[in-house]
Amino acid sequence: MAIQIEPNVLKDLKAYGAGDVSACFHCGNCTAVCPLSENGGSFPRRMIRLGQIGAKRELLASAEPWLCYGCGECAQTCPREAEPAEYMASLRRYQIAHLDPTGLGRLWFKVPAFALILSLALLGVLGAFLLTVKGSRLFPQWLFGNTVAYETIHTVGMVVGGVLLALLLGSFATLVRKSGLVPLLKGRNLLGALAWLGGELVTMKRHGECEAQSAIPVPRRKNPRVVHWAIMWGFIALGVATALDFLFIYFMGWTIVWPARVLGTVGGLVMLLGVSGAILRRLTDPKAGTRRTRFADAWVLFFLWVLAVTGFWLEIVVTLRTSGLVHDWVLVIHAAMAMELVLLFGMTKMAHVLYRPFMLLKHRLEQTAPMAETAASPSVP
């Protein structure tokens, strides 16, 4: 298929955080130094070339931005200061924004003031709703007096979960269509690719290869692979525990030893450690320093950190069976922030949880594709 050229792609990508990649003269240093560049390939330089010629459709369909873990090795050796690592990060934001069916994802990443106002407005609306809508009390044992009815949180939470599901289904349909995954499934070893993906998600081996090349040893608490692993699996465990809580609490009642609660507690602790490590790294590591952190990325870390801390606060309050106005407000903040995170999931960095595994699977299938078919993919001049 012929490449369609769109002239404003590089300018647009700058708004997503890319540096001046027009300065790149394709010396290949970044490819040579990238620990994840495969078989003498052109990663990440191929993506830069596609951006320079304005191949928007190819950029949006490519799995390559998701193969990069942002170690920054390439940026250290670029003679043109084109910041290839930042460019790859901007492509991930670009793809997420273009998969968001609401269209707000583009503004979310490009205009920090918009992201801040949307986030605060949503928090205000959700918080006011939770504080003012009262249902009949199905849980008289609930400890938070009359400030917030648990039934309200439960009902609103179910609606928010339904909205997330609808949005994600829309995003996924677009992703499957644009990525060209379906033709790749024909005649390939899907089970083998899924097994490889499972191993990769559990071990994050590729991420480890990325870090292994770093000349400066990183302490474990700030090690990106450990941090990434903890945030991802902590978040998934917490998400599963919350969903089980919402779906089954009417049948199970409230008990701290219910498996979903245990899963939530462990997941919350793992995520809190991971997010704290990520924040610490951004504040102290010059390669991943605060200068490069965009508002949309900081927002995710801030939300996850506050959610984990307030979640443990509520866990302790419930276990000790204490009550008070402060706890009521912690509950309102926790519930409103959790619902906002769920509503905005598909347009924020949180979407990594879905899109990276999907694109890794696509890449694995591409690697195992018959030669006749790989030769048909668009070539870069």
Q: Give the interface with ligand SF4 as residue ranges (CB under 6 A).
A: 24-30, 34, 36, 44-45, 48, 68-74, 77-80, 82, 84-85, 88, 210
- Shortest distance (Å) from residue 330 CB to ligand SF4: 39
350 C-beta neighbours (distance < 10 Å), count: 18
Closer by beta carbon to ligand SF4, 48 or else 130:
48
Residue owning tokens 């955080």:
17
Q: How far is the CB of 224 from ligand SF4 (least distance, A)?
A: 10
Residue closer to ligand SF4 (CB basis): 102 or 214:
214
Nearer to ligand SF4, 201 or 266 (CB): 201
- Cβ proximity to ligand SF4, 72 vs 311, nearer residue: 72
Closest approach of Cβ 84 to ligand SF4, in Å? Answer: 4
**Minimum distance from CB of 145 to ligand SF4 (Å)?**
51
Residue 84 or residue 277: which is nearer to ligand SF4 going by CB? 84
Residue 359: exposure state from Cβ atoms within 10 A (0-12, 13-18, ≥19): buried
DSSP string, 187-242: TS-HHHHHHHHHHHHHH-HHHHHHHHT-SS---GGG-HHHHHHHHHHHHHHHHHHH
Nearest alpha-carbon partner for 256 in 214, 197, 318, 312? 318
For 29, 240, 249, the CA distances from 35, given in Å and listed in that order, are 12, 34, 47
Question: What does the alpha-carbon distance between residue 212 and residue 202 come to, in Å, rounded to a whole number?
Answer: 18
Q: Which is nearer to ligand SF4, 73 or 340 (CB)?
A: 73
Among candidate residues 85, 5, 93, the one with its CA nearest the CA of residue 44:
85
Closest distance to ligand SF4 from the beta carbon of 301 (Å)? 19
To ligand SF4, the closest distance from the beta carbon of 53 in angstroms equals 14
